[in-house]
Amino acid sequence: MTGSLTTFKRQLPNAISLARAFGILPLAALLIFGQALAALVLLTLLIASDWLDGYLARRFQVISRTGTWLDPLADKVMVLGLYVFFACWCSLPGSVLTAWFWLPIAIITLREVYMIVLRSRAADAGKAVPASKLAKIKTTSQFIALYLMVPGFMVLQQQQMAGEPGSGASSVSFAAWLARWAQHGLYEGILLALLWLAAGLTLLSVWGYIKQALHAGRG
């Protein structure tokens, strides 16, 4: 019994990380079928799991090499998966999202691919690349942008279904307060500002990792 409990504690943090990565699938399904409130609840749980898996690993003293790379990888899969999903659905003709939405996503994606390669090479060498403070701030800005995307997505979804800009937004009750912003471009402006903030922090944080890698190479 004690052995089973120990195994459970050792595997629980990694299981939570995996659940966060695969959680984008039911989240996307909820959004497609118009269950915006449920989608926000699930998104909250997924974001909270980013703190929970690390807390449990420290609490149970089961920090592992697998967990060190799996935790940030799960964040990347969730954030990038949702960004691409929103961008594909919400790139309406004439919307500012069509071009300026994709560019920060491309910057963030390239950075995350680089970090995956860097961490995999470090793991092969028996080393770890922990997240920097700037990287954690970057992740927080990405999560805030995702929270804005969910109600905004429902507004744009209703506009697509109605076939004309601005119509149908009031049918999304909990997001009705966002409809006027969406019609006047204020929502898109705030969302883009958050995305570009995340992209800027992404560039700054990756430069710090590059300098560390160069320093280690010289050493």
Pairwise pLDDT comparison (134 vs 42), residue with the higher score: 42
Whether 1 has a pLDDT exceeding 70, the answer reads no
Percent of the chain with pLDDT over 90: 7
Q: How is residue 50 written in tokens?
A: 């980013």
Entry pTM: 0.73
When the pLDDT of each residue in the chain is averaged and rounded to a whole number, the result is 74
Q: How is residue 56 written in tokens?
A: 């449990």
Those residues whose C-beta lies under 8 Å from the C-beta of residue 142, and which sit 6 or more positions away, are 79, 108, 198
Q: How is residue 74 written in tokens?
A: 């799960």
Q: What is the per-residue pLDDT for 174?
A: 42
Whether 173 has a pLDDT exceeding 80, the answer reads no
Which amino acid is residue 1, in one-letter code? M
Q: What is the pLDDT of residues 76-121, one digit of tens each?
A: 888 888 888 877 765 555 454 556 777 888 888 888 888 878 777 7
Pairwise pLDDT comparison (218 vs 17), residue with the higher score: 17
Whether 135 has a pLDDT exceeding 80, the answer reads no
Domain limits for position 88: 2-218
Q: Which of 8-22, 62-76, 184-198 has the lowest mean pLDDT?
A: 184-198
Number of structural domains (the chain) is: 1
Q: In which band, very low, low, confident or very high, does the pLDDT at 199 lie, cut at 50, 70 and 90?
A: confident
Q: Which domain CATH number covers 100? A: 1.20.120
Tell me, rounded to whole angstroms, the distance of Cα 149 from its chain centroid: 11
Pairwise pLDDT comparison (41 vs 173), residue with the higher score: 41
∠ Cα 90 93 95 (to 5°)? 65
User: What length does the chain have?
Assistant: 219
